[in-house]
Amino acid sequence: MNSKNEKMKKFDFIKRVFGLVLLVSSLTFVACSDDDPVIPPVEVDVDFDNDGINDDVDNCPAASNADQADSDGDGIGDICDPVDDGATPPTGGTVVVDSDITANTTWSSDSVYNLDGRIFVTDGATLTIEAGTLIKANAGSGANASVLVITRGSKIEAVGTATEPIIFTSASDNIQFGETAGTNLDQNDRGLWGGLIVLGNAPSSFDGDAESAQIEGLPTDTDGDKGLYGGSDAADDSGTIQYVSIRHGGALIGEGNEINGLTLGAVGSGTTVDNVEVVGNVDDGIEFFGGTVNATNLFVWAVGDDGLDIDQAYSGTIDNAIVVQGNVSDHALEIDGPEGSLAGAYTLTNATLIGLDNNVENGEIADFRSGATGTNSNILVTGFTGIGTDLQLSDVELDNSVVAANYTAGTLVFANWEVVLPSGITTSAEIFNDTTDESTFEADAITFSAVAPAPATVGATTSAFSWTYSNTKAGLGF
């Protein structure tokens, strides 16, 4: 392991921005396509405990138990559940979750929960997850991908704390009961399970002005209406997601259809989303499909596509967010607008976007497209040196005529951006690019952006992320 001083030397590019050490140069970059995430091979047949039985059928996947003995017939192998009580494993034991949750249920921090397959919370039920609970999901792709879905009208109450976060990770992660991190996986291990999907009844702008749609990441032919999201209740309440860390997800379920780390589909403003971390996901870190939910203190590290993604006229506020690029990341921000006639406008404020030195292929800063409307203020950009073999400058891009017109009309707003300039760049305005040349976006950039002072005066409050796995794993010093 590198010494602290060696790590500080590798990552001192960020120190002059907010006086911290950021370990991002250890993230090597590999080539990928312009628009799609790189999808690593997913091990469908996983045997985490090396007992000769794959996790998807192992009744105790966390510990070797080749004979699958289960004396009390509760679905949990004796080695994880030695007490003949017919139901409850001992403290630290594993509870296998392999069927839908249709009544109010609590996952206790006394147990480790093993997700096996697509698990839906349905029928208006509330899933309560206690602070400090560890959830480990089995591998699988397509219809076999392990994923937790909170359906419309149901709730999740996942309330962790800074000292006892709720952790979603892969069954391949050697993290143990009572720990907050394992040792065998890192930010470059992706696609080992699905992710967390929350679906609500808030308004979203769909093609053809449909009231609801099937959420990205779920098969359309197997789950009936359990994958639908959208409605007319802007104040809809899907529960609470607080101090939650989501790691190593994004399993592929179909061509070009991966699961985000956290998917929020038409989630309403009655829902609390606060202090969420996504690490090493194949697709986007956190994606907002319409809805009105507000989200604070979001951290995304080393995902395979976009860090934060906004679609379908999302109309909430994202306040205090950090995106740190990884070795296959695409845009830090990808922001789309409405698909139907329903309009909406988001607010993104107090965000820090951190790129990689010598980005090889993608690694763009932000892409505004498909009629995006909203306000983007107090944004710090650093570490984006360029993309491609000739280091073409990473940019903030308006990529079509509709977006350019929205900027001109004042419905797409930029204010108070600061940029740590890459080598060879002399003004912050050089990173802003209207690909259509139909607006004054590029000329105006000198008024809404500036070269970042040291320390910067905008961006995220980094101390809010001291609790994260990323802070410890990458030695960020938050």
375 exposure class (CB count in 10 Å sphere: 0-12, 13-18, 19+): middle
In the chain, what are the domain boundaries?
A: 4-42+68-473
- Tens-digit pLDDT profile for residues 302-312: 999 999 999 99
Instruction: Report the pLDDT averaged over residues 144-150.
Output: 92
Q: CA 15 from chain center: how many Å?
A: 25
What is the pLDDT, as a whole number, of residue 172?
96
Strands 262-265 and 196-199: parallel
Q: How many CA atoms lie within 13 A of 470 on its CB side?
A: 34
pLDDT at 354 over 90: yes
- Tens-digit pLDDT profile for residues 446-462: 999 999 999 999 999 99
- Tens-digit pLDDT profile for residues 256-305: 678 999 999 999 999 999 999 999 999 999 999 999 999 999 999 999 99
Sign (positive/negative) of CA torsion 36, 325, 117, 294? negative
What is the distance between the alpha carbons of residues 119 and 109, in angstroms, rounded to a whole number?
Answer: 19
Where residue 130 falls among pLDDT bands split at 50, 70, 90? very high
Can you read off the two tokens belonging to residue 116?
Answer: 């096996």
What is the distance between the alpha carbons of residues 314 and 450, in angstroms, rounded to a whole number?
Answer: 28
What is the distance between the alpha carbons of residues 301 and 322, in angstroms, rounded to a whole number?
Answer: 8
DSSP output for 59-81:
S-TTS--TT---TT-SSS-TTT-
Q: Which of 48-57, 93-102, 178-187, 274-283 has the lowest mean pLDDT?
A: 48-57
The span from the first CA to the last CA of the chain, in angstroms, equals 20
What is the distance between the alpha carbons of residues 418 and 352, in angstroms, rounded to a whole number?
Answer: 10
Q: CA 22 from chain center: how many Å?
A: 20
Instruction: Report the pLDDT averaged over residues 40-50.
Output: 60
Name the nearest CA neighbour of 250 among 216, 291, 213, 220.
Answer: 216
- Tens-digit pLDDT profile for residues 64-98: 777 777 656 666 777 776 545 555 667 888 999 99
